[in-house]
């Protein structure tokens, strides 16, 4: 049985679908602070059977102990956490509390239950702005905001934990830019409030919810001047988690691995692709660069291929198509 914290969230829910597809049993643990139980009903529709779940907060040791006592958990996929950079700057204590304190409470509960296999959601944001691309896992880390700092602190903690007790099997996965949705359009990304990431905003503009997209800068050193990111389909990410879990089952190891496609796509290219595959117009205006934005970011994906046998299979067309299908079916 796999425990999935944050299993009703964007990446967590898609990963649960993939776990079910390959025959893993799982239990969702989520406080629904940035999701709703309705997602679980959608997941049940996709997988055709009930989802086992508990409402609870990873910062609550008693709630965690109860889950471990109630289920034979062999490994944990830890998605639960806050993830908005701007919000983290205005609410640093909340971010450290949810992301760092929450992870510590989880590690404690795992140790008490004798479950020492963990896949942790980290982010390419830990690499900082000045790296040559593609960026590999051994590049120096440098974070510029509280959100990134919480990810790095937990990575450090996991290193120390592994050093203190080699029975721990830990995969730290550094995501690049997750996007897209399940092809059924039953689950997808539904940020509460105003989205800050590119694709949900593109979708809302295409749906007429917003008049136009602001492109943050066209003077980056990229072919069209707009920022470049390594967008990776959320179902590819889901498969990456299952591959990491399989790796840890076979190897008593601690690994840090990038999950991306290895290809950069510019903001303008995303808009053009989106317009082509959706048939919708996405009006935009160029505005100054966003504070603390980096220009170009894409992953060195060799380690994921070598260690996990995982490569991202879906292209930007598919990401845009699935994101739009989700928006068209669910957005208002």
Instruction: Give the binding site for ligand UD1 (CB under 6 A).
Output: 83, 85, 123, 125, 147-148, 177, 196-198, 201, 213-216, 227, 229, 267, 290, 292-293
**Phi and psi (nearest 5°) for 121?**
-80, 105
Burial class of residue 164, CB neighbours in 10 A (0-12, 13-18, 19+): exposed
* Both structure tokens of 34: 């940035």
User: At closest approach, how far in Å is the CB of 282 from ligand UD1?
Assistant: 11
Q: Are strands 117-123 and 231-233 parallel, antiparallel or unpaired?
A: unpaired
User: At closest approach, how far in Å is the CB of 155 from ligand UD1?
Assistant: 14
CB atoms within 10 A of CB 303: 17
Closest CB to ligand UD1: residue number: 227
The torsion angle over the Cα atoms of residues 111, 116, 121 and 127, rounded to 10 degrees, is: 100
**Could you tell me where the DSSP H helices lie in the chain?**
10-21, 38-47, 61-70, 85-90, 92-95, 102-113, 146-164, 198-206, 234-250, 267-278, 302-303, 316-330
Q: Which is nearer to ligand UD1, 32 or 216 (CB)?
A: 216
User: At closest approach, how far in Å is the CB of 232 from ligand UD1?
Assistant: 11
- Identified catalytic residue from 95, 127, 147, 175: 147
Q: Which is nearer to ligand UD1, 166 or 288 (CB)?
A: 288
Q: Which is nearer to ligand UD1, 5 or 125 (CB)?
A: 125
10 is annotated as an active-site residue: no
User: At closest approach, how far in Å is the CB of 10 from ligand UD1?
Assistant: 9
**Helix/strand/coil for 236:** helix
Q: Which is nearer to ligand UD1, 118 or 215 (CB)?
A: 215
* Active site residue ranges: 147
């Amino acid at each position: 049985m796999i425990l999935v914290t944050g299993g009703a969230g964007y990446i967590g829910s898609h990963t649960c679908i993939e776990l079910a597809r390959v025959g893993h049993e799982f239990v969702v643990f989520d406080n629904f602070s940035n999701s709703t139980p309705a997602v679980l009903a959608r997941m049940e529709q996709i997988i055709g059977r009930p989802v086992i779940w508990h409402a609870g907060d990873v910062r609550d040791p008693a709630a965690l102990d109860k889950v471990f006592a109630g289920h034979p958990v062999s490994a944990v996929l830890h998605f639960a956490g806050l993830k908005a950079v701007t919000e983290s700057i205005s609410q640093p204590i909340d971010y450290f509390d949810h992301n760092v304190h929450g992870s510590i409470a989880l590690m404690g509960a795992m140790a008490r239950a004798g479950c020492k296999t963990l896949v942790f959601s980290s982010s390419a944001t830990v690499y900082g702005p000045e790296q040559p691309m593609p960026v590999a896992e051994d590049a120096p880390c440098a974070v510029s905001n509280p959100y990134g700092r919480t990810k790095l602190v937990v990575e450090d903690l996991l290193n120390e934990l592994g050093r203190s007790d080699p029975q721990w099997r830990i995969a730290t996965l550094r995501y690049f830019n997750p996007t897209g949705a399940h092809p059924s359009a039953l689950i997808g990304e539904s940020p509460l409030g105003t989205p800050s990431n590119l694709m949900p905003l593109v979708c809302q503009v295409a749906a007429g919810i917003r008049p136009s997209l602001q492109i943050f800068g066209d003077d980056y050193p990229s072919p069209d001047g707009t920022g470049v990111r390594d967008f990776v389909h959320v179902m590819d990410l889901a498969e990456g988690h299952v591959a990491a879990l399989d790796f840890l089952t076979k190897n008593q190891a601690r690994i840090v691995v990038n999950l991306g496609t290895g290809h950069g796509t510019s903001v303008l290219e995303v808009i053009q692709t989106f317009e082509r595959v959706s048939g919708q117009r996405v009006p935009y205006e160029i505005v100054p660069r966003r504070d603390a934005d980096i220009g170009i970011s894409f992953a060195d994906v060799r380690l994921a291929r070598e260690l996990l046998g995982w490569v991202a299979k879906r292209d930007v067309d598919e990401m845009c198509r699935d994101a739009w299908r989700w928006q068209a079916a669910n957005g208002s």
